Amino acid sequence: MNTVSEKFDSEEFDSDLEDIRVVNSIASKEENIYAELLICDNPVKIQIDCGATVNVLPRSVAEKTVIQPTKTLLQMWNKAVVKPVGEAKVPICNPVTGRQYRCKFVIVGDDQGFV
């Protein structure tokens, strides 16, 4: 088991961030890590990707939000480039704590393999 523990000055960051002080890694048969959030008031199982530089949602999940144009292009792990539909600030809620946030997501088409 690996343990990572780091404290930081929360005043340096956006006040909407939650502080995670310890992360434990336990061997698992499943390679991917998932969490369930309420996105636009609907439960959605999302994959946690620590290597990603943006948050990505398919258009069908973000259908109730205003999608703005973006110049961002997404480069996948295999170097393929995907042009997203746009970006949006999407309401999300942690169903365990009840805390609500508005997070920026890059919105992709449902036919682009992210669903």
Instruction: Give the number of other CB atoms < 10 A from CB of residue 87.
Output: 22
Q: Say if residue 81 is exposed, middle or buried (CB neighbours under 10 Å; 0-12, 13-18, 19+).
A: exposed
- At 105 the pLDDT is 92
Domains assigned to the chain: 2-112 (2.40.70.10)
Length of the chain: 115
Only one residue has tokens 């048969």, namely: 29
DSSP of the chain: -EEEE----GGGS-TTPPP--EEEE---S--SEEEEEEETTEEEEEEE-TT-SS-EEETTTTTTSPPBP----EE-TTS-EE--SEEEEEEEE-TTT--EEEEEEEEE-GGGS--
Q: Using one digit for the tens of pLDDT, what is the confidence trace for 1-50?
A: 333 334 434 344 445 555 545 555 556 566 788 889 999 888 988 888 87
**pLDDT tens for each residue of 56-104:** 999 998 888 899 999 999 988 888 888 999 999 999 999 889 999 999 9
Q: What is the pTM of this model?
A: 0.68
Q: Which pLDDT value is given to residue 83?
A: 92
pLDDT at 77: 80
Give me the pLDDT at residue 25, please: 56
Q: Which two tokens stand for residue 13?
A: 């960051």
